[in-house]
Structures are given as structure tokens and as C-alpha cells.
Structure 1
Amino acid sequence: MYIDSQVVSNYEIDKEYGRVCLEAPEIAASALPGQFVMMKYWQGLTPFFMRPFSINSTDNKNGTIEILYKVVGEGTAILKKLQKADKVQILGPLGNSFPLKENFKRIAIIGRGVGAAPMRFLAEYARKKNVEAHVFISAARPEFLFDTTYFQTIECQFTGSCDDRRLVTSYFEEELTHTHFDAAYVCGSKRLIGDVKRLMDQYGFEGYASLEAHMACGVGACKGCTIVINEEGTERFARVCKEGPIFPVRNLVY
């Protein structure tokens, strides 16, 4: 759906990162973990395309959604300057969502830096379904271990690391030696996703990855976010915005 929204708050975490809360009751009521929105929050034609953002959390009671963002270019630089009551146009929720099967009892949630953006929503959703969630997050600095307190508040087991000498998956691997996981959900670099695949092959759990891509439309029309996936030995094209952004790790071709 396409809605006219406004900023409730825009909190600056530091010069690189921020968290914006937006009035969007329709999206808050219908969004699922892993989905995203396209947003336009500037006047005129520049930048030309709307910008995609993962939904970090929803508040159905207050009719709001939150977006965790990193300033990386012109679009996010404008986003950081938004003030309370500024107007925002939102298209969403878009894409598919993290599959959380009824037989899942324990899951791992893995991310790095702003790659952890969709993971708070997933952790909250899992806990509401009485699924045990172990969260493994890494970042360059402690202040970038986002949502640490919240994860602990909803009784997730949390492991945070700022050690660049270790992939965050190494902590997950240590846990796998004595704990069974039904599935792992990851958002981060190809290297991080590839390491989850290695552990899947060794320990036999299911794996799902949230992918990021440059997008122009967000609805599959422009095909600008197309990747190659492999399904049962057959390669085909898939659009991150339409068939994704969540894909089985086994289907990804790197």
C-alpha cells in the first residue's frame, strides 16, 4: 500500500547511524519480519528513486514503524536531517518474510552492524510464538550493537562481538557443538552468509538470508535487483524485491 506518513521521531545514534520512527498504522498492522518499505522524504525530483529500508520494528498499538539506517549517500543523508512531523511517502510492506515454521523450537539470529536491522522484528515475532531465540550480532564498536537491551528484555540469549578477528558465526559455531538449532537467519555480507551455509552442511539446520540490493521500484517491475539462485540444480533469475528479500541460504549462488 502507498501511504502519506510523518516522522514521529528521528534519533541520531552517531554521525553514521540513526533510527527514525514513522506514523504508519496500516503497515504496522500488516507487516511481517523481513519485509521492507520504499520511502520518499524529500521535495522535488532529486534523488529520483525511492529508497528501500528494512522494517526494524513495529508498534501496532501506536500505529508506528521504526527504521534503522546508516548514512551512506545522498538519500540517507537527507533522512538523517528529518524532524518531527516532516512528511514521508511510504510504499509497503513489500517482499516476502522470514519463514518461522510451527515445528521450530530454537532459532539463531545472526547479523553485523546495520545488517541487524530486520532482526529485532524477527526476534520479537519468534518470542511471541514461544520460539527460543539466540541472537549473535557483531559490530565495529560497542555502540553499534543495536537493540542489545531490547533482545535481553524479551529474553533472547544475546552474544555481541566487536572483535574483527572473528566472524560472528564463530560464536554460533561454538553453541552448535552442544545445542540443537532448527534454523538460522542471517543478514550481512556474502562471507557471513557463506559461513552460515558451511555450518548448515555440517549441522543440518535450515538457513535463511535477508539480502540487500539497489532497488528502483521495489515491486519487481524494473528488475534492477535481479540475482541468480539455484533451485534443485536449476539456476534462474530472482528479484530481491519480489521473490525476496528472504531466500533459503542453499539457493544462493556466490
Structure 2
Amino acid sequence: MNLSREYINIYNQYLKSINDTKKEIKTIKVIQKITIKRKEKATEEEILALEKENINIEELPNSKKASNKIYNFSNGDVYIGKIIDGKMNGKGIYTFIEGIEYIGEFKDDMKDGNGMITFNNGNTYTGAFKCDKMNGIGQMIYNGGNEYIGNWENSKRNGMGIYKWNDECIYVGEFKNNKMDGNGSCYDSTGRLIYKGDWKNNLAHGQGTYIWEEGKRYEGEFVHGKRHGQGTFYLDNELVYEGTWKFDKPSIFNRTLDEIFSFII
């Protein structure tokens, strides 16, 4: 059984959302270049007013037509965009002195809307933000080549998503608190289904089916990644064993066959 068409459609749907965000980011980068070329820098008074705890809003741009400016803050951070009502609002770019860069939409000094953030460890996230956190549909490209695309909640992988390792193996299913948790399927680098069923804490846990090759499979219970509990083993699509399993092996009287044979010998 190869990679499901349904999951390919889900991936393409997610990717369309990401590509739309990338188009917005390109537009913001153009604005950045124009602003830098024109040397439209904020005055020291404007920056000082923003950095103070008590901001005099009346002295700052209050119109949605406020111009884009370069704000070089005293801590080394740089913001290129608009200040409305004394806060970063609209589309802009914020570069932290630590090497983190965010390009996208702001609302009241927070990342909010669509954008892209590049972390100082090399990871890059593109997608939706809400209240300064990754929320909604997004794609994370990890510095080692792995990729996750799908739902995020409070900057964690939560809900339906697709995780692809750099060796081309793929997991498609539910996530909870950054981990594979719920119902999902795992495919090898050729797109062949390996496991389908329940997951918990990144391991097969609950009811599932593990497939070695065509006609050779296990259907039944899993505990912490092991075939454990009631299960059935098929070879050449013929029933070979049905009963209790213990840590990946058939079990009789609560002992694996290897344990039984050792007593006999």
C-alpha cells in the first residue's frame, strides 16, 4: 500500500497556504529594500519614545498611512516597518541581535498574521502567527533537513500534520505537544505504508497494523512501540498466529516462545 492520495492532497493544500505566505514575504522584502535605499531612518527621539515605558502616544504617528522607517534600537535590534499608535503594526521586518529574523505581519508589537521566522539554529518557520506564537497552518524546515507542515498551536505541533524526515520517511497524522499522538500512518522512503494506527508520545501505542512487506503483517495491540497484548500475525496473507504477544513476540502462558523453548532445552 503506497502513500495515500488523500494525504498527498492534504500536503498540497497545506503547501498552497505556505506559498501564499511566501508571496507576501517577497512583497515585504521589496518594501525593506526601498526603505533602506531611501535611508528613511527613525529619529533618536522616536526610538527613545518607543523604548520608554511611558510612551507619549500623541507625539508618535497615529495614522494607518504612517511611513515605513528603520528603527535601530539601543539593544541592537532593528525593525523596518510602520509604527501606529506607538506600536509595531502592519507588515515589517524585525531582526534580533541574536540572529533571529521575523518577516511578516505585526499587531500591537506582536507577530500576528502571516510571516516567516528564521531562528539562530537554522530552523525556518513559514506560516500563521497569533499573539506572538506560531498558530494555524505552518511549515517548519529544520536545520537537519527534516520538515513539518500542518497545524500549530502555541508554537507547538498540534492537530493534523505531516512530518518528513531527511531520509524521505513520512508520518501523516495527529500531533499533540510536538509529538506524534493520536491516529496516524508512517511510510518508508519509497512511499510504502509501514504502520497505521494509534500513536502516543511518538510511539505506536493502542490498536494498529505493522507491515513488513506485501502479505506479511501484524494487526493488534501495541504498547510503547512494541507488539504487546492481543494480536494476529499474517504471512503471505495467511493467518499464522492469533493470540497474546509480549514485547514483540508471541506469548503463551505469559511467556514468549523463546522463553518456553529455553525451558524445554
TMscore range, shorter length: under 0.3
Task: Compare the two structures and name the one with the higher strand fraction.
Answer: 2
Task: Compare the two structures and name the one with the higher helix fraction.
Answer: 1
Give the TM-score normalised by the residue count of structure 2. 0.22
Q: Which has the higher contact order (CA 8 A, sep 6+)?
A: 1
Give the TM-score normalised by the residue count of structure 1. 0.23
Larger Rg: 2
